[in-house]
Structure formats: structure tokens, C-alpha cells
């Protein structure tokens, strides 16, 4: 593909995240168009396709990937079907932006990793969008410069207004803390080696059976500690913060430097109510970078190894939840293919 050609993208999964990516490709970024949309709901996917010129609706991912107009794939379907859809993309050697999780567990992530290596070149970028957030990018740059000395600790906060129906304690790790796991690995350039989970008394706002909030402690291969407050029913807004404590200083992102208003005898700033709003710019930047790299014939960003390492840490986190004990993360040796 030459730099001048428009990239035809198939979006698999048109729920909230997938529909937002359809909108983003169609209206916000450059160099790509939505060539196909795929969903198990035929009415929903047809409604989306009918609003986009040259877009075809499918209920079968294999049929969509066989469409000659499709040159790349965005996977935004539920995690349990990612492995099968990634393998379909590999059969056609198509570049993929796969929303997290890469797959729901490290065993399936390993199978995807082995399949990608058999291709002989990278094809997958995993959608850890915080790596594209302007504040987090500045924090990583600051830490990499070393002006504050070595990073000793990260203090992280991850709060949601409320949890979705059916949200479980395991999902606090697999669907929420997974972001802090990847962020810590990326900021520190170290692997997570052990996880401990401590549970305070549950909030009265938490649904019955859900342990919320929780405190998750991550240990890294370089000796840093990362603590994560995960509170998925805080009731007031969506907040993601990270403070790096270093040998000669500290730096914090995520305080929400938004517009401040004065009205009705009060002043204050707005708190975003969900991740789509808070990380809108990061999602845009991630998609544009993926499209630009794909059109150059390159693959950037979080790799299948990153998806696997996050899955392995999440698995240890769930075991730590259940046992109440410090749990080691089990990782295979990192292949040279991903170095």
C-alpha cells in the first residue's frame, strides 16, 4: 500500500467502543475509511453501514475480511472471541488494531503470539489507549529523561461512576486494573512480577456480591511498587490518576485540568463521566497513528507481547483476589521477535 491510498478498515464489533471507532474513522481521522462493519446484530450493523458511503454490513467476520475493499481490521468485539478473529486476520495477513484484552487469558494470548511469529512479522497493535494520552506521554518522557532519578513508586487511582450490570469482582482486575498494569509496564519499562489484592469494607454503593473498592499492589522486575485504588462505583465521576514518586521529585497526571465554571454560588471543574470522554483525544491519536503506520507498511504501539504480559498479570491478580495472598506472575521468556 502506498502512502497516498486510503485504508479500507473493517470494524468488528459495533457496541459502544466499536461504534465510537466507526465514528472516529468516518469523521475524525484522515487516511482511512470504514469499508465494512461486523456485528452479530444484523439490524444494528445495517443501520451503521447505511449511514456510511461505500460501507458493507456483515454478521460473519470471515466474510468481511474477505471483502477486497478491506485492508486492515479493528477488533472491538468481546474479548472471548478475539483469538478466533485475530487468527482470521492472520490468514489474510491483515494489520489489526485489537481492543484490550488481546485475549481473556495468557494461554490464548500465547497461541496468538505463536501464530503471529509464524507470519514472520508483526501484525497486531493492542488498544492500550493511555499510551497515547497527552498527559501520560509527558509523564513517560519525564521519567525517561531521568531528571528526577529512578522511579520508586507509582500511586494510581481508577474510579468509575458505576459498574455495568453483571460486573464482577474478577472484572475489576481483567477489565479495569489491566490498564494500570499496562501503564506501569510502559512507564517503568519493567515487567509485573507479583500481585497482592487487599479489600476494605465494601461501599454501600456497590451491587451485592461485588467487592468494591479494592487496593491492588503490583511489584515490578526492577523493584518498584505500584498501588492501584480501583473503585468502580464511586458515584461522582470517572477519574484516572497516576503519581510517580522518584528519588528526587514526584510528578502526577490526571487531575483533570478542564474548564472551571462559576455559577449558583459555587465554582469548580467538570469531572468526566466515562472513559470515552476522558480519553477521547487519546483514542483519536491512537487511531491516527495506527492508520499512518499501516499505510507505511509498519506496525507500532503495544504488541501481542504486551497483551500477553497484561493477561498474565491479570491472571495473577484474580488469583490474589481469591486467595488474599501475594501471587507471582508467571511469564514465558520474551521472544526476540518482540524486543
Name which of 319, 298, 318, 315 is nearest 307 in CA terms. Answer: 315
Q: Quick one: pLDDT at residue 140? A: 98
Alpha carbon of 85 to those of 6, 13, 75, 297, 323: distances in Å?
23, 11, 8, 21, 33
Mean pLDDT of 311-333: 98
Is the pLDDT at 218 greater than 50? The verdict is yes
The residue written with cell numbers 501475594 in the block is 326
Q: Quick one: pLDDT at residue 4? A: 57
Per-domain residue ranges for the chain?
A: 7-130+281-303, 146-275+310-338
Q: What is the pLDDT of residues 277-316, one digit of tens each?
A: 888 999 999 999 999 999 999 999 999 999 999 999 999 9
Say how far apart CA 221 and CA 173 lie, in whole Å. 20
What is the average pLDDT score of the chain? 95
Identify the CATH number of the domain defined by range 7-130+281-303: 3.40.50.720
Alpha carbon of 26 to those of 58, 157, 160, 269: distances in Å?
18, 33, 28, 31
Q: Quick one: pLDDT at residue 3? A: 45
Q: Quick one: pLDDT at residue 2? A: 45
Q: Quick one: pLDDT at residue 120? A: 96
The yes/no answer on whether domain 146-275+310-338 falls in CATH 3.40.50.10090 is no
Q: What is the pLDDT of residues 18-61, one digit of tens each?
A: 999 999 999 999 999 999 999 999 999 999 999 999 999 999 99
Is the pLDDT at 9 greater than 80? The verdict is yes
Q: What is the pLDDT of residues 80-102, one digit of tens each?
A: 999 999 999 999 999 999 999 99
Is the pLDDT at 250 greater than 70? The verdict is yes
Amino acid at each position: 500500500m502506498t502512502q497516498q491510498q486510503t485504508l479500507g478498515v473493517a470494524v468488528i464489533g459495533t457496541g459502544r467502543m466499536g461504534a465510537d471507532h466507526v465514528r472516529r474513522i468516518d469523521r475524525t481521522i484522515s487516511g482511512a475509511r470504514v469499508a465494512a462493519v461486523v456485528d452479530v446484530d444484523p439490524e444494528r450493523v445495517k443501520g451503521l453501514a447505511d449511514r456510511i458511503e461505500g460501507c458493507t454490513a456483515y454478521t460473519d467476520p470471515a466474510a468481511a475480511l474477505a471483502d477486497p475493499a478491506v485492508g486492515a481490521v479493528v477488533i472491538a468485539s468481546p474479548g472471548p472471541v478475539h483469538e478466533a478473529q485475530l487468527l482470521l486476520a492472520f490468514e489474510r495477513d491483515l494489520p489489526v488494531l485489537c481492543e484490550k484484552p488481546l485475549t481473556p487469558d495468557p494461554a490464548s494470548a500465547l497461541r496468538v503470539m505463536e501464530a503471529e511469529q509464524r507470519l514472520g512479522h508483526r501484525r497486531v497493535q493492542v488498544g492500550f489507549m493511555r499510551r497515547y494520552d497527552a498527559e501520560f506521554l509527558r509523564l513517560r518522557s519525564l521519567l525517561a529523561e531521568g531528571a528526577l532519578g529512578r522511579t520508586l513508586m507509582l500511586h494510581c487511582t481508577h474510579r468509575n461512576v458505576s459498574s455495568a450490570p453483571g460486573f464482577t469482582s474478577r472484572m475489576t482486575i481483567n477489565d479495569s486494573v489491566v490498564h494500570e498494569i499496562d501503564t506501569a509496564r510502559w512507564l517503568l519499562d519493567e515487567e509485573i512480577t507479583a500481585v497482592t489484592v487487599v479489600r476494605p469494607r465494601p461501599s454501600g454503593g456497590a451491587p451485592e456480591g461485588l467487592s468494591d473498592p479494592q487496593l491492588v499492589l503490583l511489584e515490578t522486575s526492577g523493584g518498584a511498587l505500584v498501588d492501584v485504588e480501583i473503585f468502580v462505583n464511586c458515584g461522582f465521576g470517572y477519574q484516572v490518576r497516576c503519581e510517580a514518586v522518584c528519588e528526587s521529585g514526584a510528578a502526577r497526571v490526571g487531575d483533570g485540568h478542564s474548564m472551571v465554571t462559576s455559577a449558583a454560588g459555587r465554582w469548580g471543574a467538570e469531572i468526566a463521566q466515562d472513559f470515552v470522554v476522558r480519553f477521547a483525544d487519546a483514542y483519536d491519536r491512537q487511531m491516527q497513528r495506527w492508520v499512518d503506520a499501516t499505510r507505511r507498511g509498519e506496525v507500532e504501539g503495544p504488541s501481542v507481547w504486551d497483551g500477553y504480559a497484561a493477561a498474565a498479570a491479570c491472571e495473577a491478580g484474580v488469583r490474589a483476589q481469591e486467595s488474599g495472598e501475594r501471587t507471582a506472575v508467571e511469564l514465558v521468556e520474551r521472544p526476540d521477535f518482540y524486543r
